[in-house]
């Protein structure tokens, strides 16, 4: 039985390639599991049918048989437990991979998402620009710590790519195009290795191909306002 995941049929250009269904698609591609996608238009995720899958009105979700899961980390963990390909061979290796999954989502991602809030979602607010230096400093603190731990390793636990690497590199991709990784060449190379994996390429292609919907009313006005405000502050 093929699992069904949910994804958006439209997001703003800056979010394309970043929505968290990509992480689930990547995991499924790594283990060779076919899947179907239920696409939601913007706003549909907040309505009753999807709230039944995801109480917070987000994507992705994952359904197979009688099981319904939400949260990308939980879904990737389930996929790794249900198929070969995302865990090391030893019990200790699996524990370390799970450790890095938690670190990616609980230690690395929060300051990175805070930066996204400052620079994109609340860019026009009066408190946003004054907060930015402190937010960037927190991001660099985490990136420097990760860079030191990774060192010259190919992957976080050595030579084997795991679900921990999948989530960690997915999180790092959020800032990879903004120059934030440039002071850490080993992290730049680490993300590039993840993106070079055939499973990632397939997942990204399918993720991008799903954006066939249209922007909701009012989005362009919001985007124009954000752009004008950024120009005035420059």
Q: What are the tens digits of pLDDT across the range 132-161?
A: 888 899 999 999 999 999 999 999 998 999
Query: What is the predicted pLDDT for the residue at 222?
Result: 52
CATH number attached to the domain at 91-196: 1.20.1050.10
Q: What pLDDT is stored for residue 128 in this prediction?
A: 73
- Average pLDDT estimate for 170-176: 97
Choosing among 3.30.470.10, 3.90.1150.10, 3.40.30.10, 3.40.50.1950, the CATH entry for 4-85+200-209 is 3.40.30.10
Task: Return the structure tokens found at 174.
Answer: 């959020």
CA-CA distances (angstroms) from residue 188 to 41, 184, 191? 34, 7, 5
What is the share, in percent, of the chain residues with pLDDT greater than 70? 93
- Return d(Cα 27, Cα 77) in angstroms, integer: 9
pTM of the complete model: 0.91
Show me where the domains of the chain are located. Answer: 4-85+200-209, 91-196
pLDDT in tens, 22-72: 999 999 999 999 999 999 999 999 999 999 999 999 999 999 999 999 999
């Amino acid at each position: 039985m093929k699992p069904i995941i949910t994804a958006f049929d439209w997001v703003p250009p800056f979010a394309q390639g970043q929505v968290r269904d990509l992480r689930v698609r990547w995991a499924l591609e790594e283990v060779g599991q076919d899947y179907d996608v239920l696409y939601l238009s913007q706003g549909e995720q907040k309505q009753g049918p999807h709230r039944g899958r995801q109480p917070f009105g987000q994507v992705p979700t994952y359904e197979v048989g009688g099981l319904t899961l939400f949260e990308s980390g939980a879904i990737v963990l389930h996929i790794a437990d249900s198929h070969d390909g995302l865990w090391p061979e030893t019990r200790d290796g699996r524990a370390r991979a799970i450790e890095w999954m938690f670190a990616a989502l609980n230690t690395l991602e929060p300051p990175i998402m805070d930066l996204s809030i400052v620079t994109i979602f609340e860019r026009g607010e009066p408190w946003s620009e004054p907060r930015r230096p402190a937010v960037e400093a927190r991001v660099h603190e985490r990136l420097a710590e990760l860079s030191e731990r990774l060192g010259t390793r190919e992957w976080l636990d050595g030579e084997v790519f795991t679900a921990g690497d999948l989530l960690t590199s997915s999180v790092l991709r959020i800032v990879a195009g903004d120059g934030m990784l440039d002071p850490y060449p080993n992290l730049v190379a680490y993300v590039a290795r993840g993106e070079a994996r055939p499973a990632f390429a397939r997942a990204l292609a399918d993720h991008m191909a799903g954006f066939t919907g249209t922007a909701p009313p009012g989005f362009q006005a919001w985007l124009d306002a954000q752009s004008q405000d950024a120009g005035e502050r420059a």
